[in-house]
Amino acid sequence: MRAYSDTVAPVRNWAGNITFSAATIAYPETIEQLQAIVQAAQKVRVLGFGHSFNRIADTPDTLVSLRNLQRRIEIDSDARTVTIDGGASYADIAPALHAAGFALANVASLPNITIAGAVVTATHGSGDSNRNLAAAVRGLRLVTASGDIVSLSRGDADFAGAVVSLGALGVIAEMTLDLVPTFDIRQTVYLNLPVATVIDNIHTLTARAYSVSHFTRWQGDSVDQVWVKALAEDGEPAADILGALPATAASHPIPGMDGSTCTGQFGVAGPWHERLFHFSIGNAASAGAELQSELFVARADAPAAIAALHAVQDQFSPALFVSEIRSVAADDLWLSSACRQDTIGFHFTWKPDWDTTIAAVGVAERALAPFAPRPHWAKLFTLAPDVVRSRYPRMPEFKALADRMDPEGKFRNDFVTDLLFA
Please provide the average confidence, as pLDDT, over all residues in the chain: 95
Q: Which residue has the higher pLDDT, 359 or 282?
A: 359
For the chain, what is the radius of gyration of the CA atoms? 21
Give me the DSSP letters along 368-393. HGGG--EE-TTS-----HHHHHHT-T
Q: Which of 30-39, 111-120, 200-209, 234-243 has the lowest mean pLDDT?
A: 234-243
Question: H or E segment at 109?
Answer: none
d(Cα 289, Cα 299) in Å, to the nearest integer?
Answer: 31
Model confidence at 10: pLDDT above 70: no
Q: What average pLDDT does the segment 261-275 reach?
A: 97
- What type of residue is 170? G
360 Ramachandran zone, left/alpha/beta (phi>0; psi -120 to 50) = alpha
d(Cα 410, Cα 385) in Å, to the nearest integer?
Answer: 21
d(Cα 376, Cα 337) in Å, to the nearest integer?
Answer: 7
Model confidence at 3: pLDDT above 70: no
Domains 5-65 and 186-385 belong to one CATH topology: no
DSSP bridge pairs for 331: 339
309 Ramachandran zone, left/alpha/beta (phi>0; psi -120 to 50) = alpha
Percent of the chain with pLDDT over 90: 92
- Domain ranges, ordered by start, for the chain: 5-65, 73-181+396-421, 186-385
Rounded to 5°, the CA angle 42-44-50 comes to 155
d(Cα 139, Cα 156) in Å, to the nearest integer?
Answer: 10
Separation of CA 368 from chain center: 20
Model confidence at 5: pLDDT above 80: no
Helix locations, 255-384, DSSP H: 302-311, 313-316, 354-368
Q: What average pLDDT does the segment 165-193 reach?
A: 98
- Whole-angstrom CA distances from 79 to 69, 73, 179, 194, 201 are 25, 14, 9, 45, 39
Domain 5-65, CATH class in plain words: alpha beta
Backbone angles phi, psi at 258, to 5 degrees: -75, 110
Neighbours of 288 (CB within 10 A): 10
d(Cα 132, Cα 107) in Å, to the nearest integer?
Answer: 9
Backbone angles phi, psi at 90, to 5 degrees: -60, -40
H, E, C per residue of 119-152:
HHCCCCCCCCCCECHHHHEEEEEEECCCCCEEEE
Residues 285 and 110 sit within 8 Å (Cβ to Cβ)? yes
Q: 104 pLDDT band (50/70/90 cuts)?
A: very high
- Sign for the CA dihedral angle at 367, 371, 374, 376 comes to negative
Q: 1 pLDDT band (50/70/90 cuts)?
A: very low
Domain 73-181+396-421, CATH class in plain words: alpha beta
Q: 298 pLDDT band (50/70/90 cuts)?
A: very high
Closest Cα partner for 49 from 5, 91, 107, 96? 91
Q: Which of 54-63, 257-266, 280-289, 309-318 has the lowest mean pLDDT?
A: 280-289
d(Cα 283, Cα 280) in Å, to the nearest integer?
Answer: 6
Fold observed for domain 186-385: Alpha-Beta Plaits (3.30.70)
Give pLDDT, residue 9: 59
Model confidence at 320: pLDDT above 60: yes
